[in-house]
Structure 1
Amino acid sequence: MVLLANSNLLLCIPFNRGPGLTGLKNLGNSCYMNSIVQCISNTNELRNYFCEGSYRDDVNTNTKTRGQIVEELALVVRALWANEYRTIACRDFKRAAGSYHVDFGGVRQQDSHEFLTLLMDWLHNDLNKKHHIKQRIPPAQEPEEPPQQIEDMEESAKIAWHDFEKCNDSRILHLFFGQQSSTVRCNSCSFESVTFEPFSTLTLVLPQNSDKCSLNDCLNLYLAPEPIQEWRCPKCKLTRRATKKFDIWRLPPILVIHFKRFCEDIAWRKQHTLVEFPLQRLTMTQYTVRPNQKHTFYDLYAVSNHYGTMEGGHYTTYSRSATFKKWYKFDDADVSEISESSVRSNAAYILFYASQNLRSSTYILPRDR
Structure 2
Amino acid sequence: MFKYAGATDAPNNGHVNVAAIILGVLLAIAVIVIIIGCVVWRKRNSDSAPKLDDQLIEISNVRDPSTHGIESPIIEDIERDINEDIGLPAWAKGLEIQWQNLTIEDKVLGKGIFGEVRAGSLEIREMSKVAIKTVKGATTTASEDFLVEFKTMSQIKPHPNVVGLIGACIHKAVLYIALEYLPNGNLRDYLRSTRPQQQVAMKSDDGVSPLTSSNLLTFGIDIARGMDHLSDTGIIHRDLAARNILLGEDLTAKISDFGLSRGEDIYFQKSKNRVPFRWLAIESLTRRMYKSKSDVWSFGIVLWEIATFGATPYPGIQSKLLAKRLQEGYRMPKPENCADEM
* Short-chain TM bin: under 0.3
Relative CO higher for 1 or 2, CA cutoff 8 Å, sep ≥ 6? 1
Structure with more of its chain in helix, by fraction = 2
**TM superposition score normalised by structure 2:** 0.24
**TM superposition score normalised by structure 1:** 0.23
Structure with more of its chain in strand, by fraction = 1
Larger Rg: 2
